[in-house]
Amino acid sequence: MDELEKLKKEVSQLKELNENKSDIISITAHQLRTSLSALKWIFKMFIDRDVGELTNEQNELMQKAYVSNERMLVLVNDLLTLSHSEDAFIKYNFKKINIIHTIEQTIFEFSGELSKKGIELIFLKPEESFPELNCDEEMIRVVIQNLIENAIKYSNKGGKIFISLKQEDHNIIMSVHDSGIGIEEEDKPSIFKKFFRSEKAKVKDPIGSGLGLFTTKNIVEKHNGKIWFEKTDGDGTTFFVSLPISLKV
């Protein structure tokens, strides 16, 4: 067997091993997510007194169990998305989509949480006709979800979130602006690093894996796009995502 054939065989074996690893991670994460989601709503039923009154001690224990379960659920969701976004052998399913419709659908998923936290989300839709975007819709939905989730998580009660879209040359640029805790100067270089969470973020919300923005950047770059942020005057941050309208794959 010559060197080229040997190399091809090794690459094929590595690809097979990688696919098996991804399958195991995906199956395990899905099973964990199903069980953790079921537990979440059981704990919530007890906390909301749907199954009867609890003593103060019982309620405190249920609250702690709910928070721990939520932390695990966040981690499993992030690991599942990260597994798919980082895997070099997973082929993205590119097709033309109506990005406005996708954003509206994603916003609707957060309506309950926005209402509960007293935060207003305003989508400044383009008034003119808007081009379709060639992308993997499910992965771009994850990008939108992560940015909205962060904006909600780090905003204060009564805060506002603005989402806008514009076309610039051959790109679509989406921005998500919040009036939340902002980003400290010393944290800026690390925002997109794997597992990074600023001290301000940990104080505001202890639950988090530090994978959300890392995964988001990974997905955007797989679309030959760019992601960046700007700190506004006072508190608050605006994240920008630029995606090419027509992506050849």
What's the pLDDT score for residue 15?
Answer: 64
Q: E-strand spans in the chain? A: 94-97, 120-124, 133-136, 160-168, 171-178, 226-231, 237-244
User: Given pLDDT bands bounded at 50, 70 and 90, which one contains residue 239?
Assistant: very high
Rounded CA-CA distance 225/217 in Å is: 9
Judged against a pLDDT cut of 90, whether residue 226 lies above it is answered with yes
The residue-averaged pLDDT of 94-106 equals 94
Residue type, position 161, single letter:
I
94-244: same fold as 3-86?
A: no
SS3 93: coil
Judged against a pLDDT cut of 60, whether residue 230 lies above it is answered with yes
SS3 32: helix
Q: Does domain 3-86 have CATH number 1.10.287.130?
A: yes
| Segments making up each domain of the chain, as ranges | 3-86, 94-244
What's the pLDDT score for residue 217?
Answer: 92
Between 50 and 160, where is the model more confident? 160
The DSSP bridge pattern shows strands 120-124 and 237-244 to be unpaired
Rounded CA-CA distance 154/160 in Å is: 11
Structural contact between residues 78 and 211, judged by C-beta atoms closer than 8 angstroms: yes
Judged against a pLDDT cut of 90, whether residue 210 lies above it is answered with no
What's the pLDDT score for residue 228?
Answer: 96
For residue 35 the two structure tokens come to: 């069980």
The residue-averaged pLDDT of 59-82 equals 82
DSSP state of 148: H
Between 171 and 72, where is the model more confident? 171
For residue 11 the two structure tokens come to: 């690459």
What's the pLDDT score for residue 35?
Answer: 73
Average pLDDT over the chain reads 83
For residue 151 the two structure tokens come to: 């904006």
Between 186 and 92, where is the model more confident? 186
Q: What is the DSSP string of 158-218?
A: T-EEEEEEEEETTEEEEEEEE-SS---GGGGGGTTSTT---HHHHHH-S---S-HHHHHHH
186's CB contacts (< 8 A; 6+ apart) are none
Judged against a pLDDT cut of 90, whether residue 36 lies above it is answered with no
Rounded CA-CA distance 195/163 in Å is: 26
- Which of 8-12, 15-19, 34-38 shows the lowest mean pLDDT across its residues? 15-19
The residue-averaged pLDDT of 201-219 equals 80
Judged against a pLDDT cut of 90, whether residue 31 lies above it is answered with no
CA 85 to chain centre: 11
User: Given pLDDT bands bounded at 50, 70 and 90, which one contains residue 98?
Assistant: very high
Superfamily of domain 94-244: Histidine kinase-like ATPase, C-terminal domain (3.30.565.10)
